[in-house]
Amino acid sequence: MRRHLIRKLCLVFGPRFPRIWLILCPVSVVVLIVLSSSSSTSFDSATLTVKPDIYANYRRLKDQAVSDYLDLTSLSLGVTKLKEIKLCGREREHYVPCYNVSANLLTGFKYGEEFDRHCEVSKGEPYCLVRPPKDYKTPLSWPVGRDVIWNENVKITKDQFLSSGSMTKRLMLMEENQISFRSDDGVKDYSHQVAEMIGLRNDVEFYQAGVRTVLDVGCGFGSFGAHLLSLKLMTVCMAAYELTGSQVQISLERGLPAIIGNFNSRQLPFPYLSYDMVHCAECGILWDDKDGLLLIEADRILKPGGYFVLHGSSLSTKKGSMASPIEEFARKICWTFVAQQEETFIWQKTVDPQCYLSSIQGVIPPCREEREDIPSYYQPLASCVGGTTSKRWAPIQNRSSRIQQDEFYEDFESSLTALRNYWSLLTPLIFSDHPKRPGDEDPLPPYNMIRNVMDMNARYGGLNAAFLEEGKAVWVMNVVPIRARNTLPVIFDQGFAGVLHDWCEPFPTYPRTYDMLHANGLLSYLISERCSVTNLLLEMDRILRPEGWVVLSDDVGSIEKARAVATQIRWEARVIDLENGSDQRILVCQKPFVRR
C-alpha cells in the first residue's frame, strides 16, 4: 500500500520527489511567514488610505501567495526563473503597454474609448525586456540634447517628417543620423504675443503674473514648452499615444517634461486646480464636442484666474463669428473672453466661485460632493464644475503659500539630506570611472548624465525641491500612488510637475525616457498592496534609458527582494547600509547599455 502511494506521487512529482519535497516544505513555511508579516508593512502609515475591499484583497492575497511561492521555490531549487524572461522582439522596441486599439475594439470599447488606456485588456500579455533599437546612442547631455537628438532613438520616418506641418519643418532639421531643433524667433514672438494679450509687457512677466505651470496639449515636438522652460515655467507636454512620430517620445528625448494623455472620455490624472495655463495650438481636439465635457475638464484642472489659450487656423479670424460653440459654452463655465489676435484666442477662468451658483441662464452647476482626497484616476468626465469648494481656491494673481509647512519641510529636509548622502556615496563607487558624454566640457558626476528624473513615490515633492536647492539642471516627474494620501495638490502649488498613478500598472510613457528613477518606501507599499515587485522592476527597466540609474530606499526585506530581481535582469546592483543604525537600506542599480 505504501509502495503504491509512493509510485503515484512519483508519477506526479517525478522520481526525485523526496529531495524536492524536502526543499518545498521549508519554503512553504517561509512563504507563510512572509505573507503574515507583509500585512504589517507600511508605506506611509500617516498618509495611506485603507479601503476595505475584502474580496479584491483576498484575490490579490491569493495571487501574491502563488507568485511568492513560485519565486521562492525557483530560488531554492537553483532555477533562476527571471533568467527565462527573454528580450522582446525588434517589433517592441518602442512598446507602450495598455494602448492597443485593435484589442480595445474587440473588447467592445467604442466612441473614442478605444484610444484610451486600458491595462485590463493587455493584462495577460507575456512580459519581456524591451530592447533598444540596434543603432541606439546615448543622448547628448543637457542643454545640448535639447537641440539635437539621435535619429535612431525615436520612431519617426523621413516621410512623416516631410508630411508634417510647415511649422514643424521650419523648426526641425532631419539629417543623416540626427534631428536638430532650431531656435526660432516665431516661437518667441508667439509667446510674447500671448503675454501681451493677457496684459503683460512681455513673456518674462509670466511668472510674476502667476503663470508658473502650463499644460501644453498636443505640444508638437516641444519647442513652445522648451521656450517657456527657459523662462522658469514648468511646462508639461501632453499628447495622445502615437505609434510613430510621437510628440511625447521626442519631447522626452529632448529632456522636456511630457506624458501620454488625452482629453477623451476620462478625467486626466491631475487634481482639481492644477495648472495656471492650458495651451492648445493645433492640438486636434474638438473642444465643443461631447456636450462641452472636454471644456469642463479643462476648467477642472485650471486654477482660478488661469488662462485657456487656443491657437489654430481652423478657427475663424473674426471676433463674433469665431468658434461660436466654444465661446457660448465658455460663458456657461464662467470663463471671460480676454482677447483675440489673428488665430489666437484666450479665455480666463473666473476667480469667483459664486459665479457657478448664479441665476445666469445655462451656467453649469458645481459638483455637489467634492473630495480632494479621492484621486481623479480612471474617473469618467464630469458634467459639473469641480473645485469650487476647495480650500485651494485662490486666484493665481494673488498666489499665497498653501503648502502644509511642517510636513513639506520635513520631507524637503530629509530629501535634501538623502540627496547629498546618495551622491557622496555613489560618486566614488560608480560614477568616477564613467566616460564623458559628447558635449560635456567639465562634467561633475553624476549630474552631467541626468536630466529626466522620476520620483515614483514623491510625497510632497521634497526630492524635487532638493534638486532645485542644489542648483541641478534636472526636472522631476513627481508621481503620487493612487492609494496613498493625495499630496499632488501640494506638489502643483509649488510649481512642480506631477501625476497620479497606480504602480500595479505600467506607466504611460515610452521606453527609455528617464535617466533616473527614485523611490522611497514604494517597494514595501506595493508588497502591502499585493502587487508584483518583479513586474515593477521590469516596468522600470522599460522606461529607463540604457546606463540609467535606479535609487531605491526601503526596509531590508523589500530591498533584498528587489536586489534579487535586479540581478536577474542583469542590472548592476549594490546595497548600501546607512550609518545611522536605521533598518532602511539603499539599493543602487544601473541598467547596462548592452544586454544580450
Name the residue with higher pLDDT: 46 or 524: 524
The reply to whether 353 and 406 lie within a common domain is: no
Tell me the residue range of the domain where 415 lies.
Answer: 402-428+447-591
User: Does residue 229 belong to any structural domain of this protein?
Assistant: yes
Confidence of residue 85 (pLDDT cuts 50, 70, 90): confident
The reply to whether 183 and 244 lie within a common domain is: yes
CA 224 – CA 184 distance, rounded (Å): 10
Question: What domain count does the chain have?
Answer: 2
Last residue of a domain, one of 300, 325, 357: 357
The reply to whether 422 and 325 lie within a common domain is: no
Segment 23-37, tens digit of pLDDT: 445 545 444 444 444
Segment 151-206, tens digit of pLDDT: 999 998 766 665 554 455 556 787 888 999 877 778 999 999 999 999 999 999 99
Instruction: Look at residue 593 and tell me whether its pLDDT is greater than 60.
Output: yes
The reply to whether 186 and 327 lie within a common domain is: yes
- Please report the pLDDT score of residue 66 as a whole number: 42
User: Does residue 75 belong to any structural domain of this protein?
Assistant: no
The reply to whether 344 and 420 lie within a common domain is: no
User: Does residue 131 belong to any structural domain of this protein?
Assistant: no
User: Does residue 576 belong to any structural domain of this protein?
Assistant: yes
Instruction: Look at residue 237 and tell me whether its pLDDT is greater than 50.
Output: yes
- Please report the pLDDT score of residue 196 as a whole number: 97
CATH code of the domain in which 520 resides: 3.40.50.150
Residue 64 has which C-alpha cell?
A: 501574491
What is this structure's pTM? 0.82
DSSP 355: G
Last residue of a domain, one of 357, 381, 413: 357
DSSP letter for each residue of 16-61: THHHHHHHHHHHHHHHHHHHHHHTT--S-TTTPPP---HHHHHHHH
- Please report the pLDDT score of residue 284 as a whole number: 86
The reply to whether 305 and 424 lie within a common domain is: no
Taking residues 208-234, report their average pLDDT: 94
- Please report the pLDDT score of residue 447 as a whole number: 42
Query: What are the phi and psi torsion angles at 508 (to 5°)?
Result: -75, 75
Taking residues 34-50, report their average pLDDT: 38
The reply to whether 342 and 408 lie within a common domain is: no
User: Does residue 190 belong to any structural domain of this protein?
Assistant: yes
Segment 408-436, tens digit of pLDDT: 667 767 776 776 666 566 555 444 444 44
Nearest-5° Cα angle at 248, 171 to 384: 115
User: Does residue 72 belong to any structural domain of this protein?
Assistant: no
Confidence of residue 244 (pLDDT cuts 50, 70, 90): confident
- Please report the pLDDT score of residue 159 as a whole number: 67
Name the residue with higher pLDDT: 494 or 374: 494
User: Does residue 29 belong to any structural domain of this protein?
Assistant: no
Q: What percent of the chain has pLDDT over 90?
A: 43
Orientation of helix 185-197 relative to helix 223-230, angle to 10°? 70
Characterise 291 by phi-psi region: left (phi > 0), alpha (psi -120 to 50), beta (else).
left
CA 272 – CA 249 distance, rounded (Å): 27
The reply to whether 335 and 480 lie within a common domain is: no
Nearest-5° Cα angle at 88, 82 to 94: 130
The reply to whether 168 and 307 lie within a common domain is: yes
User: Does residue 397 belong to any structural domain of this protein?
Assistant: no
Characterise 245 by phi-psi region: left (phi > 0), alpha (psi -120 to 50), beta (else).
left
Instruction: Look at residue 446 and tell me whether its pLDDT is greater than 90.
Output: no
The reply to whether 287 and 215 lie within a common domain is: yes
Q: For residue 310, give the H/E element and its range.
A: strand 302-311
Segment 449-464, tens digit of pLDDT: 689 999 999 988 888 9
Instruction: Look at residue 540 and tell me whether its pLDDT is greater than 50.
Output: yes
The reply to whether 410 and 549 lie within a common domain is: yes
CA 257 – CA 237 distance, rounded (Å): 6
Taking residues 328-340, report their average pLDDT: 93
The reply to whether 352 and 410 lie within a common domain is: no
